[in-house]
Structure 1
């Protein structure tokens, strides 16, 4: 099966400044690709290159098997949704949605049918006669999506479409976009700096930093097996704990030693990895650091650690302590008895652990 989108060895420079460096990524029909990373990592530039709004310096972009190098944006069979919505203020909602079809010479009956269809899908039927100025942010976002949907393109491109909305509306619109993707089976490329948005929407995530792809994978792969400490730290809220430790091979596996304030170091048996040796970073998600008493019967190892801060957060309580000379956060249940200043018995689920090289940040195991 040919890919709906292929980005092949893509480079993009402004003068001597390289913005994108050897980008290789592809998606199949119906996939939802999310480009995520901090501000300035090149994700919006990559989206603009796919859309044809930015010329590329090297490499190739193919949409539905066709090389797009010389093809103008309007002929790429794409639809774009921006964070600014880019609606015509003097036109009604209905006109905003059908205007593109009108320009392309689509007959009136087809325009009406498509308008009715997307208005129903997006639940904006009562708004069709209003102007954009009379709409809320979420309603404008729906209209912008409606305008993209009536094009029935090969590829939808979203550039941070929810970043202007308040937190509650963002969650609602995220669900809306996810539902749209499921209903349409459409192919989507979506840019965001919000890792929660990336995790909830994507079938495939590209994590970028400094114009370079750090990792490509499913949300589950990116979360459970980050390729390096940048991905481990960026994806997940709270971030993965990266705890300085020392590993010593012991025949069958390794012993992981972690410094503890005012006590002997913690010693943990790691039977899965015999190759770990010397200074390492132990990566553990907050939910994989348990209260030892709460997880009786599981093969958890650990010890007592002094608690610094307790942060209740509804269903969870975050407990901050120090291990290996660094702050670590664990996600415990709301009814934890943890108290600041007191010792708490922690159990670590090493079956979920990641290990990284401190100098390079690359994944070791």
Structure 2
């Protein structure tokens, strides 16, 4: 069966400026694809190319196996939810939701059935006779989603739909979109700059930078095996610690030497015989640096570290130290004894580390 969405060798330029460079990505029916990256990386432009709102400069976009390159947006069997909601202010919620069906000549009985079904799904039945001006941001977002849902399209496209909402409402709406996807089994493409949103919603993530795809993978693949330094630094909160080090292979494994602020170095032994250059950047997630007395993992290596800053955060306490000339964050238990200026015995889980080449930024293991 053909992928529901297939993008092959897509290029997009404005004059001599290349915005998207050789984009290749495909998703199956029911996938939730999230395009993530910093502002200006080309993710919204790519979404507009899929929708047909932007003409492409090269390559092709296929939806449901059909080449859409020269097909107008209205004939692509897609529904789009925008950041601005794009609701008609003079129409009631019910009319906003049914307007597209009315334009397409859908009979009134079907319109009423679809409206009732979607209103119940999104829990907006009490709002149907109100106008958008009398709704909260979260309610407007639900109406915009309702208008997309009644289309029953091959593909839903979301362009940063939650960025106008406050933090609490964003979390609620994220849960709502996730459960909606699970209930409908719909195929969705979602643009965000928020990597937490990407990690929680996606079945597949595309990380972009400067119009180039940096990595495509499941949330677990992207988080645990970032392809390069950019992905490692961008995905995760707090970000992965990226520490310059020296590596030497020997009979007992690979020795990793990290300079300390006070002089001397911290030495860890990765028991795997890795083929690493002498200069290397070691990537370790904050949760993979733990109190030595906490549950020890088979690949853990312990070392004494001088803590500079302690940040209590409810269930976790973040401890910041300096290693390899960088601020390094450890995610410790709330009841840790770590204190500023005090040496703390910490365990580094070398089974979970990533190694990167300092010159190319590419992953080495």
TM range (shorter): over 0.9
Q: Which runs of 4+ in 1 moved over 6 A?
A: none
Is 2:296–2:347's contact at 8 Å kept on the other side of the alignment?
no
Change (3 A) 1:57 1:105: same
Partner of 1:241: 241
Deviation at 1:297, TM superposition (A): 6.8
Deviation at residue 187 of structure 1 after TM alignment: 0.1
Deviation of 1:298 (Å): 4.6
Q: CA deviation digits over 1:15-73, x for unaligned, max 9?
A: 00000000000000000000000000000000000000000000000000010011000
| TM-score (ref. length: structure 2) | 0.99
2 CA distance for matches of 1:88 and 1:71? 26
Contact 2:250 2:273 in 1 (8 A): no
Structure 1 vs Structure 2 CA RMSD: 1.0
Q: Distance in 2 between matches of 1:234 and 1:42?
A: 16
CA distances 1:256-283 after superposition (whole Å, capped 9, x unpaired) = 1111222531211112243113010000
Q: CA deviation at 1:300?
A: 1.8
CA contact (8 A) 1:3 1:65 kept: yes
Q: Distance in 1 between matches of 2:198 and 2:15?
A: 31
SS of residue paired to 1:79 = strand
Q: After TM superposition, list the pairs within 5 Å mapping 1:1-365 onto structure 2.
A: 1-251=1-251, 253-262=253-262, 264-296=264-296, 298-365=298-365
CA offsets per residue over residues 265-315 of structure 1, 9 Å max, x none?
Answer: 121111224311301000000000011122347542131111111111111
Distance in 1 between residues matched to 2:273 and 2:224, nearest whole Å: 17
Pairwise CA distance, 1:217:
0.1
Kept after mapping to 2: 8 A contact 1:250/1:274: no
Q: Summarize the Cα distance change of 1:209–1:134 in structure 2 as closer, same or farther, 3 Å threshold.
A: same
Please say which of residues 346-355 and 251-260 is displaced more in the overlay. Answer: 251-260
Distance of 2:20 and 2:277 partners within structure 1: 35
Contact 2:300/2:351, CA 8 A, preserved across alignment: no
Deviates further, 137-146 or 355-364: 355-364
Q: Distance in 2 between matches of 1:353 and 1:192?
A: 27
Q: Could you list the runs of 5+ residues in structure 1 that have no partner in the other structure? A: none
- Report the secondary structure of 2:294's partner residue: helix
Q: How many angstroms does 1:252 deviate by? A: 5.2
What is the distance in 1 between the residues matched to 2:84 and 2:181? 21
In 2, Cα distance between the equivalents of 1:14 and 1:273? 48
Separation in 1, partners of 2:187, 2:85: 20
Deviation at 1:360, TM superposition (A): 1.2
For each residue in 1:201-234, what CA deviation from the matched residue of structure 2 results, as whole angstroms up to 9, or x when unmatched?
0000000000000000000000000000000000
Q: Does the C-alpha gap of structure 1 residues 267 and 60 become closer, same or farther in structure 2, counting only changes over 3 Å?
A: same
Unaligned ranges ≥5, structure 2:
none
Give yes or no for contact 2:228–2:363 (8 Å, CA) kept in 1. Answer: yes
The size of the alignment, in residue pairs, is 365
Give the Cα separation in 2 of the matches to 1:16 and 1:33.
Answer: 29
The answer to whether the 8 A contact 1:252-1:274 is kept is no
Q: Is the 8 A contact 2:79 2:153 kept in 1?
A: yes
Contact persistence 1:256–1:267 (CA under 8 A): yes
The alignment's TM-score, normalised by the length of structure 1, stands at: 0.99
